[in-house]
């Protein structure tokens, strides 16, 4: 599986750093929704789903966490701890998120508004779908 980690340009100077996110420029889709997670708990694993259509991009703007991405053939772990990097997560990729640092703030950009019917929350169903044997 290709991990698509996007490196954003950081406009740093003596006052600090600044990263700008622009749809269809450094973000490879139209941004319809932004959500963020904070006050996460180190030992709690979350996610446990894939999406039929939704594309997302995850940025840890503070702290760190790890993603496990699974396309049905391969599982990859990706540590995120750099606010200048974004992890692109395509549709039909199972994700789990874990090892949250206490100060972790995880921002996610999405190409659609929230739609529960787009979620695949059952792993066996996900595997059947990606292997085309449903
Ligand atoms: P959930 O999907 O359980 O989070 P995760 O998969 O990362 O563990 O989402 C938690 C709750 O927030 C759930 O009740 C659905 C709701 N929610 C929204 O209302 N809008 C959103 O954009 C998202 C991502 C979740």
* Percent share of the chain, pLDDT over 90: 94
Domain boundaries, the chain: 4-9+25-130
**CB 35, CB 97: distance < 8 Å:** no
Residue 129 — φ and ψ, nearest 5°?
-65, -45
Rounded-to-integer distance, Cα 98 and Cα 104, Å: 11
Give the residues across from 62 on adjacent strands.
Answer: 105
Count of C-beta atoms within a 10 Å radius of residue 132: 6
Rounded-to-integer distance, Cα 113 and Cα 10, Å: 28
The verdict on whether 51 is a catalytic residue reads no
Give the residues across from 68 on adjacent strands.
Answer: 77, 96
Q: Is 96 in the pocket of ligand 1 (CB under 6 A)?
A: no
pLDDT digits (tens, 9 = 90+) for 57-83: 999 999 999 999 999 999 999 999 999
- Segment 24-33 mean pLDDT: 96
pLDDT score recorded for residue 48: 98
- The pLDDT mean for the chain works out to 96
- Segment 98-121 mean pLDDT: 98
Superfamily, domain 4-9+25-130: Jelly Rolls (2.60.120.10)
> Could you tell me the distance, in angstroms and rounded to a whole number, from the CA of residue 13 to the centre of ligand 1?
36
């Amino acid at each position: 599986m290709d991990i698509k980690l996007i490196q954003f340009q950081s406009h740093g100077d003596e006052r600090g750093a600044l990263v700008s996110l622009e749809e269809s420029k450094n973000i490879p889709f139209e941004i319809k929704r932004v959500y963020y997670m904070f006050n996460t708990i180190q030992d709690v694993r979350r996610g446990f789903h894939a999406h039929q259509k939704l594309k997302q991009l995850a940025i840890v703007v503070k702290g760190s966490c790890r993603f496990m991405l699974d396309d049905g053939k391969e599982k990859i772990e990706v540590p995120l701890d750099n606010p200048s990097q974004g992890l692109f997560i395509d549709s039909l990729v199972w994700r789990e998120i874990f090892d949250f640092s206490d100060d972790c703030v995880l921002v996610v950009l999405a190409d659609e508004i929230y739609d529960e019917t787009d979620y695949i929350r059952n792993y066996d169903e996900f595997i059947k779908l990606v292997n085309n044997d449903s």
